[in-house]
Amino acid sequence: MAYVLLIEPDHHCGLSPFPWGTLAVGSHLASRNIPVALINASYLDLAAFEAELSGLLPQATLLGVSCFSTDAAWVLELLARVKKLRPELPVILGGPHPTLLPEQTIQHPLVDYLVRGPGEEACAGLALLLDEVGRPIVDAPERLAALPGLHWRDGRGEAHGNPPAGAPPEVPTDYSLLPEIKQRHLPKYMEILAGRGCSFACAFCYNAVCGHKWAGKSAQALAEEVESIVRRFDPQVIYFRDENFFHSRERVLAFIGEYRSRGFRFQWDATCRANYFTKGYINQELLRELESINCRRMKFGMESGSPRVLKLLHKGIRVEQILHVAQTLSGSSIIGNYSFLMGVPGETRGEYRATLGLIRTILDHDPRAEIIGPQYYRVYPGGELYDEVVAHWGFRQPESFEQWAEAVRGDFFGLDKAQDYRWIDGSPDLPRRADFLVLLARKPLSSLLHPLKFPALPFALLARLRLRLGFYAGMWDMRLAAWMFGKYVSAVYLPKSKAGLVG
């Protein structure tokens, strides 16, 4: 009988996020009565992960592993171990890395199959086909060719691939696939995927490369899923984890009606875009409607305070629109959450300062505003910006899955230490430390009076002064603050995260 084991890697990010890719595939399998289990290594310490793997691996008939490019080393080490224990077990990879580089990834001897794009149908079809045939099926191309997005090697080692699937099936998320310790936190905070993809073409995003256009659940289907979740978990807060929840005005208006008619009480957060704040869409009237149904937070990817950089990134928004959002939400109970990016190729030091100046202005308009970053740009595969880096900045792309793993081990992506990219204008300290500067400048001074946090107080005062005066020379204080923060996270935050205590 088919039994699919799905594994979400340890992303080494210090968080325990919802494993949306594997969770979506697992939910689809469960809806088709295909036995499935999910292990999220980001929730577990090494001993707990090995215990779960040892208990579930013997009964698996198919192993599915999600993979970002930054996971390549971890994934290959896992596959080497699995193949040593069960060399006959078929392995299928999914996620961003195999989607972006399928021809390269399928050549690795530890990878039997991969799926490009949404993996629900391919994974379910492959699991059933393996169960039916009862042996490797690489020499049955007509059967494999029916599975959307599937790539494989035939008996001669030649690679084959199918076009990716279109819009994924609308299947409610099966939260029982999450470990019990995570499920215990769901009454406090729940994430729901109300749609996938994005119809915009930001230069740093892989959605544009893969053609993942927005596809959302209908308001009725979403409300029915939410109602079942409310009956089971009664969450205090729901985060609609779409990349663009407000894409459809009609769906938003219908959802407002569903929320009221079903008597929901939870607070909720969602993603939005600055260009939706217009007289014909998100205006004062609609904001009052959203407030009345407990919308708590709206999240935006603003990215830059430079008009030129916004055009370079193909954001489709203007600085004036960003300011309009901040001014509009300042008179509302809804909190604005704004993320920014810094250090992209071609960005000048003056444009770094413009972004920090915009952040200062947003905070002047609305002191409650939440600022994410500015996050230091990292070179991930996918998107027009990545292609420019490879073509014009002497950036050598790894040529095999094994080389990607070696690159990760050598901190190719700057996860352990931010890279000093050749295109950075002037000293890299400003783009690399801008996030710490804003973080410290935003800290309430009263929160730093605790003995463990008191050493950060002088740095917070310096950060406030720098942001207010626009003075960013030196940055020695931010380097020291970043080092201290890293030590604090390693000592306090990561152990709790591995124990499943951090949501």
Q: What DSSP string runs through 272-312?
A: E-GGG-STTSSSHHHHHHHHHTTEEEEEEEEE-S-HHHHHH
In the block, tokens 């698996």 appear at 60
Q: What DSSP string runs through 364-395?
A: HH-TT-EEEEEEEP---SSSHHHHHHHHHS--
State the first-to-last Cα distance of the chain, in angstroms, to the nearest integer.
35
3-state secondary structure of 494: helix
Contact 4, 29 (CB under 8 A): yes
Q: Two tokens at 459?
A: 């740095």
Q: Please, what is the angle between helix 429-442 and helix 476-488, to 10°?
A: 70
What distance in Å separates the CA atoms of residue 388 and residue 412, rounded to the nearest whole number?
Answer: 17
The dihedrals phi and psi of 274, each to the nearest 5 degrees, come to -65, -35
Closest CA to 92 of 149, 139, 23: 149
Q: What is the CATH number of domain 185-395?
A: 3.20.20.70
Q: Measured in whole angstroms, how far is the alpha carbon of residue 128 from the centre of its chain? A: 30
Q: Which fold has domain 4-161?
A: Rossmann fold (3.40.50)
The model's pTM: 0.87
pLDDT in tens, 165-200: 877 777 888 999 988 878 888 889 999 988 887 878
Q: Two tokens at 69?
A: 């490019």
Q: Two tokens at 377?
A: 């740009």
Closest CA to 249 of 273, 281, 272: 281
pLDDT in tens, 105-157: 999 999 999 999 889 999 999 999 888 776 556 656 788 888 999 999 888 88
Prior bond to 374 cis, omega within 30? Answer: yes
Q: Where are the domains of the chain?
A: 4-161, 185-395, 434-503
Going residue by residue through the chain, which has 503 residues, state the pLDDT in tens, using 9 for 90 and above: 899 999 999 877 655 578 888 999 999 999 999 999 999 888 888 888 899 999 999 999 999 999 998 899 999 999 999 999 999 999 999 999 999 999 999 999 999 999 998 899 999 999 998 887 765 566 567 888 889 999 998 888 889 999 988 777 778 889 999 888 788 888 899 999 888 878 787 878 777 666 667 788 899 999 999 999 999 999 999 999 888 999 999 999 999 999 999 999 999 999 999 999 999 999 999 999 999 999 999 999 999 999 999 999 999 999 999 999 999 999 999 999 999 999 999 899 999 999 999 999 999 999 999 999 899 888 877 778 888 888 888 778 889 999 999 988 887 666 666 677 888 888 888 998 899 899 999 988 888 888 878 888 899 999 999 999 999 988 888 888 877 777 765 565 444 444 433 33
Q: Two tokens at 175?
A: 């939260």
Using a 10 angstrom Cβ sphere, with 0-12 exposed, 13-18 middle and 19 or more buried, the burial of residue 35 is: middle
3-state secondary structure of 425: coil
What distance in Å separates the CA atoms of residue 420 and residue 418, rounded to the nearest whole number?
Answer: 7
